[in-house]
């Protein structure tokens, strides 16, 4: 049957005076039945080869898909299908995500062997398969072993390394900020005496380090990062033994040349409350009196000093 005769046969079946609703058909579809000729699904295929290719692709998709069982399925059939579904989940999700989905949503199908297989699905073959994010050193062997033992994927391991790196940076910045604030507060308390107190404390720490062999505190002073608590501690030690015949007292470069505001106020109070002090008994106009006046003016300046 050729195309022209097929078209005439279709038109002959239409009632007299009625307009045919059959669309114009040409090419390979003219050999099909009227029902198939009217199918919109076939109108997009230009020839038989295109139709055949689409059929093959559909069969391939069906082979990769999962057909849900009906209500009449046996327990054995359901168990087999569940394992098939879990296998697809393991391929689609990172290991720990698949693990959680299965455990939370399908607890009846969960067992330890299956869980471990899913967790290991995206794990490298060995610890050498773990890399590092940009800007971070390659993780050491201990880290890579931990990641492997916990079934982490390379992506998960790098994600954790990035998060830890950001956390450590944040902690370091907070520590530096706290240290700077504490030092600034001590500078405000000590005023012009801060540098002297620091040198005195450093000298005492070095002297004690020589005696004990413990250099941690002395190193902190040498590096300029000694915290206020250590400055207070060792400057107090210096004040206690600085006048004795010891290693601490032998360095003239750390003699106290300034007072803290609090120390200056205490010295002024002691002089004012002691009328037998040399400041009150020294003869006016002498060089010693001038020295004492200069000392009192210096103390008053240090007592009133404000440090921003």
| Residue 82 belongs to domain spanning | 76-119
Q: Count the domains in the chain.
A: 4
Region of poorest pLDDT, from 19-23, 25-29, 149-153, 234-238: 19-23
Say yes or no: 194 and 246 in one domain: yes
170 pLDDT more than 60: yes
Q: Where does the pLDDT of residue 166 fall: very low under 50, low under 70, confident under 90, or very high at 90 and above?
A: very high
For residue 223, being part of any structural domain is answered with: yes
Determine contact, residues 237/208, Cβ cutoff 8 Å: yes
Note the pLDDT tens digit of each residue in 116-162.
666 677 788 899 999 988 888 888 999 999 999 888 888 889 999 99
Alpha carbon 30 to chain centroid, angstroms? 67
Say yes or no: 268 and 243 in one domain: no
For residue 233, being part of any structural domain is answered with: yes
Contacts for 83 with CB less than 8 Å, ≥ 6 apart: 109, 114
Say yes or no: 226 and 279 in one domain: no
For residue 200, being part of any structural domain is answered with: yes
Q: What is the mean pLDDT of the chain?
A: 75
Instruction: Output 293 or 138, whichever has higher pLDDT.
Output: 138
For residue 70, being part of any structural domain is answered with: no
Q: Which two tokens stand for residue 270?
A: 């002691």
Q: Estimate the crossing angle of helix 154-190 against helix 228-241, to 10 degrees.
A: 40
Q: What is the pTM of this model?
A: 0.46
């Amino acid at each position: 049957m050729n195309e022209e005769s097929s078209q005439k046969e279709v038109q002959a079946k239409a009632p007299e005076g009625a307009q045919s609703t059959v669309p114009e058909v040409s090419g390979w579809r003219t050999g099909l039945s009227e029902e198939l000729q009217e199918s919109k699904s076939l109108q997009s295929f230009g020839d038989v080869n295109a139709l055949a290719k689409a059929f093959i692709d559909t069969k391939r998709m069906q082979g990769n898909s999962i057909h849900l069982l009906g209500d009449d399925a046996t327990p054995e059939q359901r168990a087999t299908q569940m394992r098939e579904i879990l296998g697809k989940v393991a391929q689609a999700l990172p290991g720990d995500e698949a693990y959680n989905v299965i455990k939370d949503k399908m607890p009846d199908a969960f067992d330890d062997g299956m869980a471990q297989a899913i967790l290991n699905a995206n794990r490298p073959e060995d610890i050498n398969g773990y890399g590092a994010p940009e800007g971070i050193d390659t993780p050491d062997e201990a880290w890579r072993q931990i990641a492997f033992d916990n079934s982490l994927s390379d992506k998960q391991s790098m994600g954790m390394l990035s998060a830890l790196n950001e956390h450590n940076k944040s902690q370091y910045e907070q520590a530096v900020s706290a240290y700077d604030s504490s030092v600034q507060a001590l500078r405000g308390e000590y005023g012009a005496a801060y540098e002297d107190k620091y040198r005195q404390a450093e000298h005492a720490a070095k002297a004690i380090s020589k005696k004990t062999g413990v250099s941690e505190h002395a190193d902190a002073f040498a590096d300029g990062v000694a915290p206020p608590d250590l400055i207070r501690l060792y400057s107090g030690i210096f004040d206690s033994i600085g006048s004795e015949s010891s290693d601490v007292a032998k360095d003239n470069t750390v003699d106290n040349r300034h007072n803290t505001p609090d120390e200056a106020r205490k010295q002024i109070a002691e002089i004012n409350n002691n009328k037998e002090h040399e400041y009150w008994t020294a003869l006016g106009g002498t060089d010693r009196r001038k020295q004492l006046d200069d000392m009192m003016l210096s103390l008053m300046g240090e007592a009133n000093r404000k440090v921003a």
